[in-house]
Amino acid sequence: MPAVIPCADLQITRRYLDQLVEAAVRAPSGDNLQPWQFEVHPDGRRVIIRVDATRDPSPMNAGQRMAWIAVGAAAENMLAAARFNGQEAVVDFSHESDAAVVHVDDVPEAEFRPDPNILARVTNRKLYEGRAVTDQTLGLLQERTPPLAESKTDWIVDPARIEELAEIIRQSDAVLFGNPAMREAFFRSVRFDAAADAEVDEGLSLASLEIRRREVTAFRMASRMPHWLFRAAGVARTIGAKSAQLVKSSSGVCVITTTNDTPAAHVSVGRALSRAWLALTDAGLAAQPMMSPLVLANALRHASTSAFSASERQQSATLVDLLERALQLNDGDRPAFLLRFGYATPPSGRTGRLSTTRAFSTPH
């Protein structure tokens, strides 16, 4: 049985765990939907993180794969915050309860200090400057992102390979936004109801999407277009071309791979993602996920067969194959996350977070 913690110490421990959860909810999640639930175990030494499947039921999150990646990123944020405060914490995956479990031992006596990289991490969707990172910076990024049990991280900085990935992402975005269900799921997460520069508590603000004031009306109209008009206007192709331009402006692409398609593997991918993004933030580099080809790959595996037309499935399969060839993967590896990075001015806006009290669940 776990040792009994005196009441006063338990209160201190709970405050510390609450502060770790504050760091956790700053992790990235698909369209900022924050699909997680946290539970502090009665022993006061564990935080259990589960997927909240009600948060993101979209076809882009088929099988809750993206949600599990977000859970892994949240867990790694907790570990990073603990390390910043001079303490080691560990995380494992509980197959019995389908949860990531963060284990904490002794609570530091000093006052909790927020990790500035966790506070500063943000998605930057601007055009980047296109200049290369130095060998020293690349070496530091590689040092900060060693392989994990079920994932590994690679850094692509060769301009020819970046161009190749940009073309694959262009075509993938065109297929993704050409699909009505995928497109509608994305637009549902855009906060048209809030001021453009508001740090919305969930979803995506217009400023964070780098939608300029003169473009807001056109963007809103695109969200309401009937499918035939959206296709006729070539909006999906325009979005794809913009995505390719963004990738080409980058210094590189961070690629996270895994060998499995399980919740535990996706949690590992999320942990690797958090490590990479925090390392980029520490190095003064901007970052943005470029996930359309991987969303298509996930939909092929987990979404209903009715989610795609036959031609969309064929296009998606072709693009997934092109991506895997372009990434020059080892046998058995599959791409799980793509993150472009580079030098850029600060983003025009960022997103906020829901209150952590909402993220806590009732103990089982």
- Asked if the structure places residue 56 within a domain, the reply is yes
Is a pLDDT exceeding 80 seen at residue 306?
A: no
- For residues 198 and 297, membership in a common domain is answered with yes
- Percent share of the chain, pLDDT over 70: 95
What Å distances lie between residue 107 and 15, 45, 113, 131, 234, CA to CA? Answer: 10, 9, 13, 43, 56
Whether 78 is covered by a domain: the verdict is: yes
Domain endpoint, select from 96, 120, 144? 120
Same domain, 174 and 312: yes
Tell me the average pLDDT across 328-342. Answer: 94
- Do 116 and 54 share a structural domain? yes
Which amino acid, residue 308?
F
261 shares its domain with 142? yes
203-217: pLDDT as tens digits: 999 999 999 888 899
Gap between the Cα atoms of 15 and 299, Å rounded: 40
3-class DSSP state for residue 262?
A: coil
Structural domain containing residue 115: 7-120
Does the residue 43 lie in any domain? yes
Question: Within a domain: residue 54?
Answer: yes
Phi, psi of 336 (to 5 degrees): -125, -25
Span 50-101, pLDDT tens digits: 999 999 999 999 999 999 999 999 999 999 999 999 998 999 999 988 999 9
The mean pLDDT value for 174-183 works out to 95
Examine the fold and report which residue of 59, 94, 120 is the final residue of a domain before the chain moves on: 120
**Residue 1 maps to a domain:** no
pLDDT at 109: 75
pLDDT (0 to 100) of residue 3: 36
Q: What's the CATH number where 226 sits?
A: 3.40.109.10
Which residue has better confidence, 360 or 34?
34
Q: 144-171, pLDDT tens digit by residue?
A: 999 999 999 999 999 999 999 999 999 9
Instruction: List CB contacts of 251: < 8 A, sequence separation 6 or more.
Output: 128, 129, 130, 131, 132, 133, 157, 285, 341, 342, 343
Q: Is residue 363 part of a domain?
A: no
Q: Which residue has the higher pLDDT, 103 or 11?
A: 103
- Note the pLDDT of residue 41: 85
Structural domain includes residue 251: yes
Indicate if 57 and 152 belong to the same structural domain.
Answer: no
Q: Is it the case that residue 317 has pLDDT exceeding 60?
A: yes
Q: Are residues 221 and 266 in the same domain?
A: yes
Residue 43, pLDDT score: 79
- The answer on 310 and 221 residing in a single domain is yes
Q: Does 41 share its domain with 107?
A: yes
Q: What is the pLDDT of residue 229?
A: 95
Do 112 and 234 lie in a common domain?
no
Whether the predicted pLDDT of 337 surpasses 90: yes
> Residue 303 pLDDT > 90, yes or no?
no
Q: What is the pLDDT of residues 244-285, one digit of tens each?
A: 999 999 999 999 999 999 999 999 999 999 999 999 999 999
Is 362 a domain residue?
A: no
282 and 173 in a common domain: yes
Shared domain for 82 and 223, answered yes or no, is no
- Number of domains making up the chain: 2
The structure tokens listed for 15 are: 């405050």
Same domain, 106 and 251: no
Q: Which helix (H) or strand (E) holds 20?
A: helix 7-24
What CATH number does the domain containing 24 carry? 3.40.109.30
The sheet with strand 99-104 has its strands ordered as 36-40, 46-51, 99-104, 89-94
Residue 6 has pLDDT above 60, yes or no: no
Kindly state the helix (H) or strand (E) to which residue 154 belongs, with its residue range: strand 152-156
Average pLDDT, integer, range 336-348: 98
Q: Which of 90, 120, 150 is the last residue before a domain boundary?
A: 120
Q: Is the pLDDT of residue 115 over 50?
A: yes
Q: What's the mean pLDDT in 21-31?
A: 96
